Amino acid sequence: MIKQYCGQSGQSGQSGQSGRRPAGSLREKQNFGDGSMKILLVGSGGREHALAWKISQSKHCSQLFCAPGNPGIRNATPVLANTPEDLANFARLNKIDLTMVGPEALLCAGIVDHFCELGLRIVGPDKRAAQLEGSKSFAKDFMHRHGLPTAKAEVFDEEKPALKYLRKQSLPIVIKADGLAAGKGVIVAESMAQAEQAVRGCFAGSFGEAGYRVLIEEHLIGEEVSILALCDSESILPLASSQDHKRAEDGDLGPNTGGMGAYSPAPIVDQAMAQTIDRQILQPFLRGVQKDLLYFRGIIYAGLMLTAEGPKLLEFNVRFGDPETQAILPRLNSDLLEALWATADGRLHEIKLDWKEEPAVCVVMASKGYPGKFERGFEISGIEAAEAKGALVFHAGTKAQDGKLYTAGGRVLGVTALGKTLADAVENTYAAVREISWQGANYRKDIAHRALKR
């Protein structure tokens, strides 16, 4: 049983089932619970705003730092550091007690390894374990070796054999760039011409280095759900289920985006399905982490397709999903900081999470043109009116200037409301969304449409 987190003082090398960690001088804070914790949150999107909102409610949090944060996160001290090295130095110099990382890029770049070397407490997988998101072929290999159900796929490092294999497959077929591609590296091709173009595009550098290895994957049919779980390599604790809406337009049409809205819970994940997911996905994941000696004390996000043959993995992410987090956290009664702290310390088995029964719906308001080209700098109005209706308004791409708020990104705001029923939550959310405006504001009108039809 691992009782300490990474960088355990005076020890080096093997740390039980949690993988190898470098030695470091551990600054153990014994007095958790005295309300004096200094927390560093890394990231700037809607997910981080939701995390900041929830973490700052904890009775243990005395000061929240955000690197860099966003204009919606008002109760945090902004931090400019943005590399793993600089963030670890900042945490050391400022005696940060716990660091929470939002974006995958920093996890894949090894931010956890840097913190561990300095004996600093951080939530997340180390660089090797972060490849579960950072390399789709690494993730596939992990799934195959540990018996996690997933779509059949072949991996190619060269164009010619990839095209030869592709031509023997039936349509639709899915082409995936191996590495991180900001959610754009997956092409669901309906025609062979489109599939060939996708393969050629990858090897020609459309996704940079991320695309020089390509997966050609069987197309799965079913409903998608996101299952996020805390994992400390010793145990795994699922959060409430949720469903994202990845396509840009109503009716799940148009290009893939980072996510246009989400709701929680996903009614398709009833008790029986939750048990199936635990048995077929989460427990085998945990056993795989242990067998491979991966250092994983963070959030695992299983992107699932619920097929006629049962749940199958589409992907892993190694962090909170966005916008899922904006729909999930408003339903959490428990202290998130306690759960994150226990995850980082390898005491997750002590944590129980209590959820509100009420469903939550998050609608993402985006700039006209997103996920393609869009303009920035339009003044935003109506946020107070939306909040007065009881909604939470999370900032994702905004800029404050001279007391006014302007658009500054593709996804601009996430608006979340709860309701007695899912239909009420949808109505409450859209009532708040309609209060907010800027030139070219765009959002899907049908978030939760599938669940409402059930």
**Which residues of this protein are in contact with ligand GLY, per CB under 6 A?**
183, 244, 259, 317, 321-322, 324
Which of 188, 274, 293, 353 lies at the binding interface for ligand AMP (CB under 6 A)? 188
| Alpha helix ranges (H) inside 109-204 | 111-117, 127-134, 136-145, 159-166, 192-204
Find the shortest distance in angstroms from Cβ 185 to ligand GLY.
Answer: 12
Distance between the two ends of the chain, CA-based, in angstroms?
A: 44
- Which lies closer to ligand GLY via its Cβ, residue 53 or residue 90? 53
C-beta closer to ligand GLY: residue 96 or 229: 229
Contact set for ligand AMP, span 293-322 (CB under 6 A):
303, 314-315
Residue 28, amino acid: E
Binding site partner of 188, from ligand AMP, ligand GLY, none, Cβ cut-off 5-8 A by kind? ligand AMP
Name the E strands within 308-451. Answer: 310-317, 360-366, 392-395, 398-401, 404-407, 411-418
**104 binds ligand AMP per the rule CB under 6 A:** no
* In the complex, least distance from residue 188 CB atom to ligand AMP, rounded to whole angstroms: 5
Give the chain's count of helices (H) and strands (E): 15, 24
Q: Select the residue interacting with ligand AMP from 37, 66, 151, 328 (CB under 6 A).
A: 151
CB of 198: closest distance to ligand GLY in angstroms? 20
The yes or no reply on residue 219 touching ligand AMP (CB under 6 A) is: yes
Assess contact for 152 and 218: CB atoms under 8 A: yes
> Applying CB under 6 A, does 444 fall inside the site for ligand AMP?
no
| Residue 251: contacted member of ligand AMP, ligand GLY, none (CB under 5 to 8 Å, by partner type) | none
- 26 or 210, CB closer to ligand GLY? 210
Residue of 2, 50, 220, 277 interacting with ligand AMP (CB under 6 A):
220
Q: Does 338 bind ligand AMP (CB under 6 A)?
A: no
Q: Which residue has the tokens 């700037």?
A: 44
Q: What is the distance between the alpha carbons of residues 438 and 370, in angstroms, rounded to a whole number?
A: 15
Beta carbon of residue 94, minimum distance to ligand AMP (angstroms, whole number): 35
Count of other CB atoms within 10 angstroms of residue 154: 16
Q: What's the distance, CA 118 to chain centroid? A: 26
Alpha helix (H) residue ranges in 251-359: 271-277, 283-291, 324-328, 336-345
CB of 149 to ligand GLY, least distance (A): 20
* Residue 259 binds which of ligand AMP, ligand GLY, none (CB < 5-8 A, kind-dependent): ligand GLY
Q: How far apart are CA 297 and CA 124, in angstroms?
A: 5
Q: Please, which residue, 81 or 188, has the CB nearer to ligand AMP? A: 188
**Of ligand GLY, ligand AMP, none, which one does residue 151 interact with (CB within 5 to 8 Å by kind)?**
ligand AMP
Closest-approach residue to ligand GLY (CB): 321
Minimum distance from residue 312 beta carbon to ligand AMP (Å): 8
Distance CA 415, CA 69 (A): 18
User: Residue 167 Cβ, how far from ligand AMP at the closest point, in Å?
Assistant: 19
**Which of the listed partners (ligand GLY, ligand AMP, none) does 72 bind, with a CB threshold of 5 to 8 Å by partner kind?**
none
Residue 432 to residue 21: CA distance in whole angstroms: 47
State the Cα–Cα distance between residues 63 and 192, nearest whole angstrom: 55
321 binds, among ligand AMP, ligand GLY, none (CB under 5 to 8 A by kind): ligand GLY
Give the up-direction half-sphere exposure of residue 187: CA atoms within 13 A in the CB hemisphere.
22
Q: Judged by CB, which is closer to ligand GLY: 267, or 303? A: 303
**Residue 435, binding choice from ligand GLY, ligand AMP, none, Cβ under 5 to 8 Å by partner class:** none
317 binds, among ligand AMP, ligand GLY, none (CB under 5 to 8 A by kind): ligand GLY
217 binds ligand AMP per the rule CB under 6 A: yes
Show the site string, 243-262: x = touches ligand AMP by CB under 6 A, - = not.
---x---------x------
> Which helix (H) or strand (E) covers residue 56, if one does?
none
Cα 10 to Cα 7, 97, 109, 341: the distances in Å are 8, 20, 26, 22
Cα separation, 375 vs 96, in Å, equals 37
- Distant-in-sequence, close-in-space partners of 134: CB < 8 Å, separation ≥ 6: 104, 107, 108, 179, 180, 318
